[in-house]
Amino acid sequence: MITTMTHDTKRSEDVRARLNVLSEIPDEWRECLNRWSRINKSKKSNLEGQWAPDRNEEYLLYQTLLGVWPNHPLNEREAEVFGKRIRDYMLKATREAKVHTSWISPNIPYEEGLFKFIDAVLSSHLFMDDFQVLQKKVAYFGMFNSLGQTLLKMTSPGNPDFYQGTEIWDFSLVDPDNRRPVNFELRKERLAALKKRIEPAGPNLLECVRDLLREWKEGTIKLYLIYKALNYRRENPHLFTESHYIPLAGEGDKTEHLCAFVRQREDQIALIVIPRFLTSLIKGIDEAPLGAEVWGESRLVLPEEIVGNHFRDLFTGETIERVERSGTGGLPLAKVFAHFPVAMLEKA
């Protein structure tokens, strides 16, 4: 079984996809931490020489906020619920850390100081304005990480498992946060609307795909990815249960940003191509990792056992032609990632 989230996951799959972005921008992350610590220093409580929260807990709070912050502005009621979720999570984390408080011997004054700090941080316009700059960047690049992670789960050797509610973005923390009631009706409505939108699209499918990328914040792009890939698995079960796994290499100056492999059974293949480390590939949230300006002349190299000259992208419907160069065949990454940030290709 391949899973990216369970009932006991400390952070949901989409939260982790966001936090992974921080490993790509350590200098920027460190600068933000130092600046936020200065901004919020006066909000801490001094309890007989012990600051509440300590630096580790403060770090955890900022990291958590980056991971779970919603993609839409919060109204007053939503902000209240969100604040309670953060307080509950931080209480659980600090008690289980057993540094300043614990479940067996709760330090109520310390916990009250922690809650006071959380509330003050969330109501600080100075902090929130600064926080939103990095949060938007982390959310944007985290979206690409999540799409890649989801496609890997559905196509790698093994059986993919989906935790309830993760068909669209899910920014949950450890239980009971990740056991909140799932709005299945919303997901059913989204799927029905998606089918209605894409099934008659035909030549207009590309425009639908572009719209899904532009509207990424609502999460339908993840639902589309899952819908297309799982249906392909159902239609081609033996390709994923009785096939070979062949890792693929790239060629060119962008190959460090590439993860690719083939699932092959006899003459049937599925090519999986996923980008990575995108914070150093594109400039920021105003740019998508698509097209020749981003990928240049880099390409995906196809070994001789991968036969075929034309390949169809499952997500866009486009056909990509195999190009020979220096005696080896390959697919230009500018074509593979022309309109959608991940690719799943079959022989056309």
CATH of the domain at 127: 1.10.10.470
| 211 falls within a domain | yes
Query: In whole angstroms, what is the distance from residue 106 CA to residue 114 CA?
Result: 13
Domain of 12?
2-135
- Does 77 share its domain with 107? yes
Three-class DSSP category at 45: strand
Query: In whole angstroms, what is the distance from residue 31 CA to residue 41 CA?
Result: 15
- Does 106 share its domain with 190? no
| 157 falls within a domain | no
- Does 72 share its domain with 12? yes
- Does 255 share its domain with 229? no
- Does 6 share its domain with 131? yes
Q: Give the end of a domain, one of 96, 116, 135.
A: 135
Nearest-CA neighbor of 254 among 286, 287, 289, 288? 289
- Does 340 share its domain with 223? no
Query: In whole angstroms, what is the distance from residue 86 CA to residue 101 CA?
Result: 17
Nearest-CA neighbor of 114 among 34, 192, 47, 24? 47
- Does 80 share its domain with 131? yes
What is the domain count for the chain? 3
Query: In whole angstroms, what is the distance from residue 149 CA to residue 17 CA?
Result: 8
- Does 10 share its domain with 127? yes
| 177 falls within a domain | no
Predicted local confidence at residue 290, as pLDDT:
97
Predicted local confidence at residue 19, as pLDDT:
98
Question: Among the residues of the chain, which ranges form H helices?
Answer: 13-19, 26-40, 55-68, 76-97, 108-122, 125-155, 184-198, 205-214, 220-235, 237-241, 292-295, 333-336
Q: Give the end of a domain, one of 235, 250, 266.
A: 235
pTM for the model: 0.96
Section 31-37 average pLDDT? 98
| 148 falls within a domain | no
Q: Give the end of a domain, one of 216, 235, 254.
A: 235
| 20 falls within a domain | yes
Query: In whole angstroms, what is the distance from residue 89 CA to residue 276 CA?
Result: 30
Give 190's pLDDT tier (boundaries 50, 70, 90). very high
CB under 8 Å, gap of 24 or more: what pairs does 281-290 form? 281/254, 281/257, 284/137, 284/140, 285/136, 285/137, 285/140, 288/213, 288/341, 289/144, 289/337, 289/341, 290/337, 290/338, 290/339, 290/340, 290/341
- Does 348 share its domain with 247? yes
Model confidence pLDDT, tens digit, residues 131-150: 999 999 999 999 999 999 99
| 145 falls within a domain | no
- Does 116 share its domain with 13? yes
CATH of the domain at 263: 2.60.40.1180
- Does 21 share its domain with 130? yes
| 106 falls within a domain | yes
Query: In whole angstroms, what is the distance from residue 329 CA to residue 248 CA?
Result: 12
- Does 109 share its domain with 193? no
Tokens of 147: 């799409």
Tokens of 153: 């789960």
| 152 falls within a domain | no
Model confidence pLDDT, tens digit, residues 282-330: 989 999 999 999 999 999 999 988 988 999 999 999 999 999 887 889 9
Model confidence pLDDT, tens digit, residues 202-248: 678 999 999 999 999 999 999 999 999 999 999 999 999 999 999 99
Model confidence pLDDT, tens digit, residues 94-142: 999 999 999 999 999 999 999 999 999 999 999 999 999 999 999 999 9
Do residues 17 and 149 lie in contact, with contact meaning Cβ atoms separated by under 8 Å?
yes
What DSSP string runs through 139-207? HHHHHHHHHHHHHHHHHSSS-EE--TTTTS----BSTTGGGSPP-HHHHHHHHHHHHHHHTTTGGGHHH
HSE-up of residue 139 (Cα within 13 Å, Cβ side): 22
